[in-house]
Structure 1
Amino acid sequence: MPRVSDEHLAARRQQILDAAYTCFSRNGFHSTSMQDVIAEANLSVGAVYRYFKSKTDLVTAIAEAALEGAEDVFGELTAHEPPLPLAEAMDRALGFADSQTGPRGALRIAIQVWAESLRDPALAAFVAEKYGRFRALFAGLARRAQENGELPADADPDAIGAALFGMVPGFALQRILANGPDRKTYAEAIRVLLKG
């Protein structure tokens, strides 16, 4: 029997994830069954279960995919040379968030992940770990702003990082659930607050 290539295995796994994403976006996590995903992927039961043993495994994989791009973007902002002014770093973070609020955007699924993490301890641990890393990256932005004299030397960079990070999902929730404000307006409001 010929060996299946790694590329084929990765493509099949992605096919299943794409089908799950479509189902979860259309019907939500709770109303989507594994049978729905199998039908959407147009694969056999065995083919899907070879990659994902349960719906929880699918939800976790979708959550990982939804959040991995954010970590890359936030990490680049923290490591940028020369250090970005906080207002500019926040504008770039908002730009990423804004790009993820559309119909196929990762933040639409992230909202469902947040809700599901309240019920699923394993998913809750994943979300807490991931968001802890995001807060740490934003705390890194705050530390660099302190070093550059943009923030007071006695300010708590961890607290400021948590507040700055909180503005990003806050913006995304408003874009998705309340159709606004737009990125430019929100970024300008942050700029004003940072001057405060």
Structure 2
Amino acid sequence: MVSRKNVSGEAPRERIISVARKLFGAKGFHATTTNELATESSVSIGQVYRLFTSKDDIVLAIVAENSRRRVEQMHAIFDAVERKECSIFEAIKAIAGISLMRDDGELSFEILAEACRNPSVADRLEMMTAFYREGIRRLAALARPDVPSEELEAYIDVMMACFIGLGHRVAIAPNADTESTSIRTACIMMRALGLPYPG
């Protein structure tokens, strides 16, 4: 059965996720009621529960969507590196820029908090983080194909901490200069990797 769409062209599932992003980020997961989600999404409460078994499922859908989008962006950058269309420095700068995007800053903290309380959210978040880590592994291997696996793992840990930390920095300092921060981050990471960098 094809779901009816509203005038904006979004299907009910996408509307609910979009509204949940806004409400969970602004009010918090527990303070947002299913009734509010339904009203703001222009669907019935029954429709919310037909599409999602619980609010947890909506959080998991947001996590999955965010992870899929980030991993796709990262792999497009790595493909460009492999085709020699992009340097390692430019790739790191681009990923830092993606990490600094001002989308869902408050929501990321809310999702992390919910992962501490809810094992199913924690498991899904861990699984999504594993996909992200594999992307970072690809970048580290492109940057330093010469290093042993233990050292490569150390590079991956540092890069993961940096990129994830940049994502949270946006919520704390929303007016940060993302271009300058991306450049500085790329320079520091290149230095940590033992690679030359511009400037």
Range class of TM-score, shorter chain: 0.7 to 0.9
Instruction: Give the corresponding residue for 1:12.
Output: 12
CA distance in 1, matches of 2:41, 2:105: 22
Alignment of 1:1-196 (within 5 A): 4-5=1-2, 8=5, 11-80=11-80, 81-82=82-83, 84-99=86-101, 101=102, 105-147=103-145, 153-154=147-148, 156-179=151-174, 181-193=176-188, 194-195=190-191
Q: 5+ residue gaps in structure 1?
A: none
Separation in structure 1 between the aligned mates of residue 175 and residue 161 of structure 2, nearest angstrom = 17
Q: TM-score, normalised by structure 2?
A: 0.81
Give the secondary-structure state (helix, strand or coil) at the position aligned to 2:147: coil
Higher relative contact order (CA 8 A, sep 6+): 2
The answer to whether the Cα contact below 8 Å between 1:28 and 1:112 also exists between their aligned partners in 2 is yes
Identity %: 21
The alpha-carbon deviation at position 6 of structure 1 amounts to 5.5
Q: Structure 1 residue 32: deviation in Å?
A: 0.7
Deviations 1:59-89 (A, max 9, x none): 1112222222111112222333335433211
Deviations 1:3-50 (Å, cap 9, x if unpaired)? x42575971211222222222122111111111212212322222211
* Amino acid across the alignment from 2:147: A
The number of aligned residues is 185
The one-character-per-residue Cα deviations of 1:106-137 (angstroms, maximum 9, x if unpaired) are: 34322211111111111111111111221121
Residue type of the partner of 1:135?
A: R
Q: Deviation at 1:157? A: 1.6
Aligned partner of residue 156 in structure 1, secondary structure: helix
Q: Which residue of 1 aligns with 2:197?
A: none
Q: CA RMSD in A?
A: 2.4
